Amino acid sequence: QSVLTQPPSVSAAPGQKVTISCSGRTANIGNNYISWYQQLPGTAPKLLIFDTKKRPSEIPDRFSGSKSGTSATLDITGLQTGDEADYYCASWDSSLRAVIFGGGTQLTVL
Partner 1 sequence: EVHLVQSGAQVRKPGESLNISCQSSGYRFTSAWIGWVRQMPGKGLEWMARIYPGDSATAYNPSLEGQIAISTDKSINTAYLQWTSLKASDTAIYYCVIHRVPSEYFDSWGPGTRVTVS
Residues at the contact surface with partner 1, assessed by CB under 8 A: 2, 32-33, 35, 37, 44-47, 50-51, 56, 88, 90-92, 96-104
User: By C-beta, is 19 or 106 nearer to partner 1?
Assistant: 106
Residue 35 CB, shortest distance to partner 1, in Å, is: 4
User: By C-beta, is 38 or 71 nearer to partner 1?
Assistant: 38
Residue 20 CB, shortest distance to partner 1, in Å, is: 14
String of b and e for 45-58 (b: at least 16 CB within 10 Å)?
beebbbebeebeee
Residue 109 CB, shortest distance to partner 1, in Å, is: 21
User: By C-beta, is 16 or 107 nearer to partner 1?
Assistant: 107
- Name the nearest CA neighbour of 81 among 2, 9, 16, 3: 16
Residue 16 CB, shortest distance to partner 1, in Å, is: 26
Distance of CA 30 to the CA centre of its chain: 16
* DSSP H helical ranges for the chain: none
Strand-strand pairing, 85-93 and 98-101 = antiparallel
